[in-house]
């Protein structure tokens, strides 16, 4: 399949993947700076496509205006939750005392959130342009299917982003928002895999083409790779739960030195599974360390090591927020690298 697709089309897919990862970085930066409500409405920001830099240009009652708009959108969302049987979830959202809390205008937070939305806009347009390119030129069913699903996921992600804002950053909505981002990354990686994949040589079971040579991937090795990927995905989910606990502890005014006394089961599992993944990755790396065709395993191993160092720094030291951003970015990159390895090393 190499050479079948226009090189600029392939490059567009890679650029779009990078933009999606930039959205993850921007979203993390928004969270650690507390800028999630820097724009109280969506998709505009304070009713403008380019947000203001000073509160003087806003109406005196701007807090009431945007609180009312968010309340109306939240009620519609809760009606939807009730319609699908999630009555308790809807009740908890409506009972949240922080639902209608409106922050004072802060230019720094507003523009931080605005930049996050701009990067998301660019990534979204990349996915849209890819889908249109497929329809106009290639018209292959499998490309249309993957591109179409990714476009639908993007539309849902954009809509759900407005819900995250409307509900004033209810923790579980942030988690769903992050998981949807991982789904979009996965679909984009699968698209790239289809565009750049060389057909497998059917020499014997377990032989796949990686680069210019055939290498053997045993069922045990592939099974361990799959287990590591699943644990990594679960780790990212647990990481969001730990982050929610941290946010709650901050709101309660509990000093950082006492956080470890209040962390629940998610933190303990998150910490323990990290070492399990490390042990498995050490074995996989060691057995394939001299084989260049398994470069994805080599890269995954080094990403994991750096990520674990970042996790230790976060757990035991008061580190700058950039460490938090890098920790999430490394986790998302490890997720993507392992998933791409599953695509690449799969045998028929």
Closest to 318 (Cα-Cα) out of 229, 250, 251, 236: 250
- Between residues 125 and 271, the one the model is more confident about: 125
Q: How confident is the model at residue 1 (pLDDT cuts 50, 70, 90)?
A: very low
pLDDT for residue 209:
53
Q: Give Cα 99 distance to the centre of its chain.
A: 25
Delimit the domains of the chain by residue range: 1-197, 201-348
- Between residues 146 and 1, the one the model is more confident about: 146
Render pLDDT for 188-232 as a digit per residue (tens, 0 to 9).
999 999 998 765 444 445 655 555 556 677 788 889 999 999 998
Whether pLDDT at 2 is above 50: no
Closest to 118 (Cα-Cα) out of 28, 10, 45, 33: 45
Beta strands in 112-241 (DSSP E): 207-210, 213-216
Distance CA 20, CA 337 (A): 14
Whether pLDDT at 251 is above 70: no
Render pLDDT for 158-173 as a digit per residue (tens, 0 to 9).
888 878 777 766 667 7
* Cis? peptide before 261, omega within 30° of 0: no
Render pLDDT for 41-87 as a digit per residue (tens, 0 to 9).
878 888 888 888 888 888 888 888 888 888 888 888 888 888 988 88
- Between residues 258 and 79, the one the model is more confident about: 79
Q: Give Cα 316 distance to the centre of its chain.
A: 25
Render pLDDT for 131-155 as a digit per residue (tens, 0 to 9).
999 999 998 999 999 999 999 999 9
pLDDT for residue 202:
44
Could you tell me the CA-to-CA distances from 55 to 29, 41, 44, 90, 105 in Å, in that order? 23, 15, 16, 33, 6
Closest to 335 (Cα-Cα) out of 289, 284, 295, 299: 299
pLDDT for residue 330:
86
pLDDT for residue 302:
92
pLDDT for residue 189:
96
Tell me, yes or no, if the pTM score tops 0.85: no
Mean pLDDT to the nearest integer, 19-30: 88
């Amino acid at each position: 399949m190499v050479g079948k697709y226009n090189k600029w089309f392939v490059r567009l897919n890679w650029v779009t993947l990078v933009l999606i990862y930039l959205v993850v970085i921007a979203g993390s930066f928004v969270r650690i700076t507390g800028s999630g409500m820097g724009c109280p409405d969506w998709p505009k920001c304070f009713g403008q496509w380019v947000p203001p830099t000073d509160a003087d240009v806003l109406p005196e009652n701007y807090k009431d205006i945007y609180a009312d708009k968010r309340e109306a959108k939240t009620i519609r969302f809760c009606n939807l939750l009730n319609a699908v049987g999630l009555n308790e979830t809807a009740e908890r959202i409506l009972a949240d005392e922080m639902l209608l809390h409106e922050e004072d205008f802060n230019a720094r937070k507003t523009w931080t959130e605005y930049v996050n939305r701009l990067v998301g806009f660019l990534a979204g347009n990349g996915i849209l342009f890819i889908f249109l390119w497929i329809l106009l030129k290639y018209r292959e069913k499998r490309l249309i299917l993957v591109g179409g699903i990714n476009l639908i996921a993007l539309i849902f992600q954009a809509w759900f982003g407005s819900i995250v804002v409307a509900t004033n950053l209810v923790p579980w909505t942030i988690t769903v928002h992050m998981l949807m981002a991982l789904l979009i990354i996965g679909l984009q990686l699968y698209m790239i895999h289809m565009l750049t994949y060389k057909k497998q040589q059917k020499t014997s079971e377990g032989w796949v083409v990686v680069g210019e040579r055939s290498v053997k991937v045993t069922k045990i090795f592939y099974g361990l790779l799959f287990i590591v990927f699943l644990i990594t995905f679960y780790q990212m989910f647990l990481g969001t739960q730990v982050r929610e606990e941290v946010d709650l502890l901050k709101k309660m005014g509990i000093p950082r030195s006492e956080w470890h006394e209040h962390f629940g089961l998610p933190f303990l599992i998150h910490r323990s599974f990290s070492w399990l993944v490390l042990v498995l990755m050490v074995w996989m790396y060691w057995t394939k360390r001299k084989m260049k065709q398994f470069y994805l395993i080599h890269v995954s191993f080094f990403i994991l090591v750096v990520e674990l160092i970042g996790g230790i720094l976060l757990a035991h030291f008061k580190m700058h927020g950039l460490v938090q951003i890098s920790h999430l970015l490394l986790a998302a990159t490890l997720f993507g690298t392992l998933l791409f390895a599953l695509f690449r090393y799969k045998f028929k």
